[in-house]
Amino acid sequence: MKKQVLIGKNLSLGYEAGNQQKTILSNLDFELLSGQMTCLLGPNGVGKSTLIKAIMGKIEPFKGSIELFGSAPTSYHRDDLSKKLSVVLSEPIFPAQMTVKQLVALGRTPYLNWSGRLSDQDKNEVYKALEATKLEYLRKERLGELSDGQRQKAMIARALAQDCPLMVLDEPTSHLDLVNRYEVMQLLQDIAKTQEKAVLVVTHDLDIAIETGQQLWILNCGSPLISGTPEDLILQGEINQLLPSDKYFFDSNRGKVVMHHQTTKIEIEGPDELVYWVEKALIKSGKHLPKDSIRISENPFRIFCQGKEFTRISELIEIL
């Protein structure tokens, strides 16, 4: 049975400026369950980091409530909160002189006794976190001498070592290369499933969120928070809430965001998939398009136009 870890009810959040309240998010209802990774998506400035601040107990709600294991995050003692919630923020906040291993070991701080020494179990958790993030080979390196992506992974390893039932990560993959993005998100999903944790990841990476998230939360200015499995949100068209302009839409057949398909006036004959890519390349080229029709064959791929045969789209575009 999945447990409710975090619940928001009719939540409004924002900032105080003098005696004025600046509301950023209003009337949010949500729940985070154990064993699931949820990806939070929304445009810049909508309030994703503000919501994280409320989860961390750094700001009080203007209205409504937020409960972490039944109590307001602001009501927890710091030591208790750090056993319930680990957070990875987008900005590195640790000294450049610290080594990767020292950083990851910081994740064990909530569990240390008065001596401040790591027990065998603590050392094991640090080792497991380094191993899971494939950072063992960098354990002696100083944070200031790592690439942005390596440092980002080290921050994730620290949160893993903290071993809390709720992990919240603000854009944890923004500096990572494509493969590492998938791997880190897959790792977080795996941890959620196998260790029954609730994981909330803020990301702008829709493709990867769809691929790896078990739940998506979509925040949009002035609308209620939309939540559901990526697949439901795609099939119900709600994913398009992320794309308010008419220019883009989520193509459920292709499983990605595309621009509204401009069509060429020329006739292109051939399998749909090939016609799609040839037409796209022709439109992008900005060249004068041929008056004759184009025929495309599959296996082998050939384009026939103006009495000539082409093996690549670029060859056709070159002669236009």
Q: Which residues bind ligand ATP (CB under 6 A)?
A: 15, 22, 24, 42, 44-50
Q: CA–CA separation, 286 vs 289, rounded Å?
A: 8
Q: Which of 191, 194, 3, 218 is nearest to 86 (CA)?
A: 191
Q: Rank residues 47 and 213 by Cβ distance to ligand ATP and give the closer one.
A: 47
Give the closest residue to 103 by CA, choosing from 147, 190, 169, 162. Answer: 162
Cβ at position 284, least distance to ligand ATP in Å = 28
Q: Nearest distance from residue 204's CB to ligand ATP, in Å?
A: 7
Tell me the closest approach of the beta carbon of residue 169 to ligand ATP, in angstroms.
13
Question: Which residues share a beta bridge with 313?
Answer: none
Spatial distance between the Cα atoms of 217 and 221, rounded to a whole number of angstroms: 13
Cα gap 26→77, rounded to integer Å? 27
Indicate the residue among 138 and 201 with the shorter CB distance to ligand ATP.
201
Length of the chain: 320
Shorter beta-carbon distance to ligand ATP: residue 45 or 237: 45
Q: Residue 35 CB, nearest distance to ligand ATP (Å)?
A: 26
For residue 224, whether the previous peptide bond is cis, meaning omega lies within 30 degrees of 0, is no
CB of 20 vs ligand ATP, minimal distance in Å: 11
Which is closer to ligand ATP, CB of 93 or CB of 179? 93
CB of 47 to ligand ATP, least distance (A): 4
- Cα-based distances in Å from 25 to 44, 68, 127, 203, 309: 13, 19, 39, 18, 58
SS3 assignment, position 28:
strand
Would you say 22 or 265 has its CB closer to ligand ATP?
A: 22
User: Which residue number, 89 or 130, has a Cβ lying nearer to ligand ATP?
Assistant: 89
